[in-house]
Amino acid sequence: MKNLSTPLLLLPLAALLLAGCQTTARLPSPMTGKRRPSVIVRTFETAKKSYDRYKFAAAARQFQSFLDTYPDDPLAAAALYYVASSHKELGDHNKAEELYTQLIDRYKTGVWPDVASYDLQTMRSARE
């Protein structure tokens, strides 16, 4: 009779590996890349927490403050996206469209302009 213990021991490992391979639609993490001063990262993270907790008015204000303070930081494109998205979630679609367009025009290429283009197109399609 064959020894079945080895394949049976591998089943839980395979299950763990497959569970880790789940795909979910998520935005890219804006925190990767170069190290930034911790105050800049904390400021961004505070605004992101508001957004993640569905506190869109607070998130819009906090991300706008981030942009006003750190307009040239590498996180600025992500911050502008979240300001626009917050306005969309608040129902201010005109402001959201204006900000998405500003993001696309300013940054031209990359993940954030691509996501903004998609959101903008989705908003416009929903109106038609």
pTM for this prediction: 0.73
Take residue 39 and report the two structure tokens written for it: 């105050």
Q: Are 78 and 59 in contact (CB under 8 A)?
A: no
pLDDT along the chain (128 residues), means of 10: 46 39 46 68 96 98 97 96 98 97 96 97 91
Helix (H, G, I), strand (E, B) or coil at 43: helix
pLDDT at 14 (0 to 100):
40
pLDDT at 10 (0 to 100):
38
Residue 121 lies in a domain: yes
Residue 9 lies in a domain: no
Residue 110 lies in a domain: yes
Which range of residues forms the domain containing residue 113? 35-127
Residue 118 lies in a domain: yes
